[in-house]
Amino acid sequence: MTAHVDVTRREFLQVASAAGATLVIGFTLPGCATPGAPAGPPLEPNAWLKIGTDESILVIVDRSEMGQGIATALPMLLAEELEADWSKIRIEFAPADPVYNHRLFGMQATGGSASIRAAWMPLRQAGAAAREVLIDAAAQTWEVDRAACRAENGAVIHSGGRRLTYGHLVATARTLPVPTEPPLKEPKDWKILGTRVPRLDTPPKVDGTAQFGIDVTVPGMLVAVVARCPVFGGKVASFDAAKAEAVPGVRHVVQISSGIAVVADGYWPAKTGRDALAVTWDEGPTAGISSASIGRLFAQRAARAGAVARNDGNADRALSGAASRLDAAYEAPFLAHATMEPMNCTAHVRPDGVDIWAPTQFQGAAHQVGAGIGGVPPEQVKVHTTYLGGGFGRRFELDFIQEALETSKAVGAPVKVVWSREDDTRHEFYRPASYHRLRAGLDGTGRPAAWTHRVVAPSIMARIFPDTVQNGLDGEAVEGAVEMPYGVPNVHVDYVLTDTGIPVGFWRSVNHSFNAFVVESFIDELAHAAGQDPYEYRRGLLGNAPRYRRVLELAATQAGWGSPLPAGVFRGIAVHKSFEAYVAQVAEVSVGSEGAVRVHRVVCAVDCGPVVNPDTVEAQMQSGIVYGLTAALYGEIGIDRGRVVQGNFHDYPMLRMAEMPRVEVHIVPSTDSQGGVGEPGTPPIAPAVCNAIFAATGKRIRKLPIGQVT
C-alpha cells in the first residue's frame, strides 16, 4: 500500500519513522503548507499538540477511533481554545505512554463512553495554554502590551492591526514558559464546540486509504491464522502439522498458548493451512454445557437471594400489602460484538524491542503484554494504534494481541494474525446472558408500592477487575437496574453472580443493554396493569428525575405520542440513563401476519449535557439504535457442547438497509453535567420496540431476541 496521496514526503518520513513501517494515519488537506514558511522545530507545549513553523497543527489523539468520532472531537476541544485555523489540523494516534492515561480510568484505554468527559478540561486547557504562549510570543516580538493582543483563526492580532500566524511565532514561543492555568473561553464565545464540524477521518474513509489493523504491512511480515479449541477453556492435546505444511505458502506451524498458529505468506495460504491442520483437543469441563443447561442454572439461581444492590423501604412487606401484584421473569442471551473488521494484530518481537500495530481500545495493557511476552523493558515496546473497524468493547481485550506477539516471537519475524469471521464469532468475550426475576405491587390507584429486581448473570468485572467485586456484588452487573428512576417507595435490587464457563466482556452499553430491557419492559407491564397510558404512567413517576422526564417528554412530543398512526402501526416508549446520558426513544412498529416485526421509525431524545459536535451525537444515536435493534430482533449466541453454534452473518444476522427504520434525533440543549454518547443510544431500543409489539399484539416479549412474534 502506498502512502496517502496528500501526505507530503516529510510528513510521511516523520510518521513512517515513528511507526517503523508504512503506517499512515493522518492526512493533510491540500494547500496547507505556507510557501516560504520559517524552518525549525515545532512548538510542543504539551503531549497533545505540535504546532509547526509551516502552520500545521498536529493533534495527538490519545483515544482509539472506532467510529465514534473521537478523532474529530478531541481536536475540536483543543482547536477551540487554541483559536486554531481548523483547516490546518492533522491527527496522529498517540503511542502508549502514561501521559495519555484516561483521567477517569487511570489507564490508557478507550471505553465507557467517557472520552469526552475525561478530556473536557485537560484538552481545552492544553489548547488554551498553547494559545497563551503564542500570544506571549507575539507581544514579545512586537514589544507591545500583551493585553492588546488576541488570538484568532491561527494568528495573533494586535489592536494596532499587526498580525502574525502561529507558524511565525513558533520559534519564539518555544523559548517561553507555557502557562499552567490558562483561562478558558466562555461558552458564548465558542466557535467550534457545539457546531457540526465535519469528521477529520471521513476523507481517508471514502478512498480506501484509512489504515485499519488488518491493512498493516511491514517488511518481511508473515500472516498467521490460528486454530483454537472450539470449546472454551480447552487445550491442544496433540496436532499433526503435515497437511498444513504441505500447503504452498505455509512457512511455519507453531503452538502458542491459544492454539496452533499456521504462518504463511498471506491470509489465504494461512487459512487453507489452518483448515487442513489435524488437532486433537482436550476439551475440558465446559464441553458439557449448552444454552439449555445455562438457562436451567440461571432459573435455579434466581430462587436464592443475591447480594443486595439497593434496598429502599421494605419491598416484601409492601408486596404482601399491595392491591395487586405482578411477577415476571425476563431473559437475554449471550451476544457477540461482531465488529466489521475481524480481530487482528501485527507484532514484531525482536531481542531489542517489540512493535505492536493494533486496532486496540487498550494501549496501556497492550504495552505491558508486549513487554511481558517480548521479555524487554516497557520503554522498548511501541504500540501503534490503527483505525479500528468497530470496537464496541471487544477491542478492549488482549487475546488477539497476545497471539500476534507469541507467534512473532516463535517464528522470529513480524507476524499479522488475522481471524476469520467464524473465529471472531466463536472466540469472543460475549455480552453476558442474564435472567431476571421481577415483582411489583400496585396500590388501589395503580401506583407502584413495591418493586423488586433480581439479576442473575455472569460478572465481567470478576474476570477483568476482580477487586471491584465485593461480597458477591458486581456493581456493574446491576447498572441500570439499581438506578431504576421511578418513584416507588419500596425497592429491592439484588444480584446473583453466576459463572457459566462462557467468557464475558464489555459489549456496547454493557449490562445496561439487558437491564434497560427488563426495567423498561416491566414498567410498561405496570402501566398496563394500572390501566394507564405507558407514557403518562412513566411521566407521573419521574417527578424526582427531571432529566429522565425531560427526554421522555421530548421524545413523546416529537413522535406525536397519542396521535393517529397508519393502520397496523403501534408505538412503544422507553427511557434510560447510561454513561451519564439520558435517552428516550419512541419506536413505531408493525407486526406482520407471519409475526415479522418491522420497525418503521424511531424518535430519539438525548440529554448528554454540553455537546461537542451535534452531528456526532446524532450519528452515535443512530448507530446505537441499529446496534441495539439488531440484537433485539436477531441477536443470540447459542451454546451446544461448550461451543458457539453461530459462525457468520448467515446465522448471526445483522440489520441491513432494507430493515433500517427512519431515525430522528433530538438533542436537549443542556448545561447540566456531561454524559457520553457512544453507548447510551443502545439500551432503550429493545424495550421501546417490545413495548410497541405489546401495543400491537398484546404479547409481552420477556425473552430476547424477539424473532417472529407468534
Taking CB under 6 A as the rule, which mask of x and - marks residues 490-529 in contact with ligand FES?
Answer: ----------------------------------------
Residue 700 binds which entry of ligand FES, another protein, none, CB below 5-8 Å type-dependent? none
For another protein, the closer of residues 341 and 636 by Cβ is 341
The DSSP letter of residue 476 is T
For another protein, the closer of residues 158 and 427 by Cβ is 427
For ligand FES, the closer of residues 26 and 390 by Cβ is 390
The DSSP letter of residue 397 is -
Q: Tell me which residue has cell 507484532.
A: 347
Q: Tell me which residue has cell 523493558.
A: 377
Residue 203 binds which entry of another protein, ligand FES, none, CB below 5-8 Å type-dependent? another protein
- Opening angle at CA 418, ends 416 and 423, nearest 5: 155
For another protein, the closer of residues 342 and 687 by Cβ is 342
CA distance 579 to 624: 13
Q: Should residue 566 be labelled a site residue for another protein when binding is judged by CB under 8 A?
A: no
DSSP per-residue letters across 193-238: TTS-PPPTTHHHHHTT-S-BGGG---TT-EEEEEEE-SSTT-EEEE
Least Å from the CB of residue 623 to ligand FES: 8
For another protein, the binding residues in 16-35 under the rule CB under 8 A are: none
Choose the binding region for another protein from 179-187, 334-342, 350-358, 365-373 (rule: CB under 8 A): 334-342
Residue 557 binds which entry of ligand FES, another protein, none, CB below 5-8 Å type-dependent? none
For ligand FES, the closer of residues 390 and 681 by Cβ is 390
Q: Is there a contact between 169 and 137 (Cβ–Cβ < 8 Å)?
A: yes
Least Å from the CB of residue 61 to another protein: 15
CA distance 509 to 516: 10
List all residues 6 or more positions away from 421 whose beta carbon is below 8 Å from its beta carbon.
342, 647, 648, 649
* Single-letter code of the amino acid located at 481: A
CA distance 45 to 169: 13
How many residues sit close enough to another protein to count as binding (CB under 8 A)? 66
Which cell is 353 given?
A: 524491542
Q: Coil, helix or strand for 417?
A: strand
Least Å from the CB of residue 67 to ligand FES: 5
Q: Should residue 390 be labelled a site residue for ligand FES when binding is judged by CB under 6 A?
A: yes
Judged by phi (left if over 0) then psi (alpha if -120 to 50, else beta), residue 678 lies in alpha
Least Å from the CB of residue 186 to ligand FES: 36
For another protein, the closer of residues 529 and 660 by Cβ is 660
Q: Should residue 422 be labelled a site residue for ligand FES when binding is judged by CB under 6 A?
A: no
Taking CB under 6 A as the rule, which mask of x and - marks residues 268-307 in contact with ligand FES?
Answer: ----------------------------------------
Choose the binding region for another protein from 187-195, 281-289, 456-464, 657-665 (rule: CB under 8 A): 657-665
Q: Should residue 198 be labelled a site residue for another protein when binding is judged by CB under 8 A?
A: yes
How many residues sit close enough to ligand FES to count as binding (CB under 6 A)? 3
List all residues 6 or more positions away from 354 whose beta carbon is below 8 Å from its beta carbon.
347, 348, 370, 371, 373, 374, 376, 380, 381, 382, 405
CA distance 266 to 261: 13
Of the candidate residues 84, 138, 223, 516, the single one contacting another protein (CB under 8 A): 223
For another protein, the binding residues in 366-395 under the rule CB under 8 A are: 387-391
Spell out the alpha helix ranges (H) of 291-413.
291-301, 315-320, 363-374, 399-411
- Cβ count within 10 A of residue 572: 27
For another protein, the closer of residues 249 and 540 by Cβ is 249
Taking CB under 8 A as the rule, which mask of x and - marks residues 592-631 in contact with another protein?
Answer: -----------------------x---x--xxxxxx----
* b/e map 333-348, b = 16+ CB within 10 Å: bbbbbbbebbbbbbbb
Q: Coil, helix or strand for 408?
A: helix
Residue 12 binds which entry of ligand FES, another protein, none, CB below 5-8 Å type-dependent? none
Q: Should residue 393 be labelled a site residue for ligand FES when binding is judged by CB under 6 A?
A: no
In angstroms, how far is the first alpha carbon of the chain from the final one? 52
List all residues 6 or more positions away from 628 whose beta carbon is below 8 Å from its beta carbon.
508, 509, 513, 681, 682, 683, 684, 685, 686
For another protein, the closer of residues 443 and 615 by Cβ is 615
For ligand FES, the closer of residues 104 and 340 by Cβ is 340
Q: Should residue 67 be labelled a site residue for ligand FES when binding is judged by CB under 6 A?
A: yes
For another protein, the binding residues in 203-222 under the rule CB under 8 A are: 203-212, 214-215, 217
For another protein, the binding residues in 103-122 under the rule CB under 8 A are: none
Choose the binding region for another protein from 264-272, 312-320, 579-587, 635-643 (rule: CB under 8 A): 264-272
Of the candidate residues 267, 325, 463, 672, the single one contacting another protein (CB under 8 A): 267
Spell out the alpha helix ranges (H) of 375-498.
399-411, 421-426, 460-464
Least Å from the CB of residue 208 to another protein: 2
Which cell is 102 given?
A: 484516561
Q: Should residue 359 be labelled a site residue for ligand FES when binding is judged by CB under 6 A?
A: no
Residue 214 binds which entry of ligand FES, another protein, none, CB below 5-8 Å type-dependent? another protein
Least Å from the CB of residue 653 to another protein: 9
CA distance 709 to 294: 24
* Listed residue (397, 517, 390) closest to 457, CA to CA: 517
The DSSP letter of residue 298 is H
Of the candidate residues 237, 340, 466, 543, the single one contacting ligand FES (CB under 6 A): 340
* Listed residue (342, 396, 346, 360) closest to 20, CA to CA: 346
Judged by phi (left if over 0) then psi (alpha if -120 to 50, else beta), residue 338 lies in left
CA distance 97 to 111: 17
Least Å from the CB of residue 206 to another protein: 5
- Cβ count within 10 A of residue 304: 10
For another protein, the closer of residues 169 and 629 by Cβ is 629
Q: Is there a contact between 103 and 122 (Cβ–Cβ < 8 Å)?
A: yes
Q: Should residue 169 be labelled a site residue for another protein when binding is judged by CB under 8 A?
A: no
For another protein, the binding residues in 53-72 under the rule CB under 8 A are: 65-69
Of the candidate residues 28, 272, 490, 585, the single one contacting another protein (CB under 8 A): 272
Least Å from the CB of residue 663 to another protein: 6
For ligand FES, the closer of residues 333 and 390 by Cβ is 390
The DSSP bridge pattern shows strands 490-497 and 415-418 to be unpaired
Q: Is the peptide bond before 546 cis (omega within 30 degrees of 0)?
A: no
Taking CB under 8 A as the rule, which mask of x and - marks residues 337-366 in contact with another protein?
Answer: -xxxxx------------------------
Residues lying near another protein in the complex (CB under 8 A) are found at 1-2, 5, 65-69, 198-199, 201-212, 214-215, 217, 223, 248-249, 265-269, 272, 338-342, 387-391, 418, 420-421, 615, 619, 622-627, 648-650, 654-658, 660, 662-663
Residues lying near ligand FES in the complex (CB under 6 A) are found at 67, 340, 390
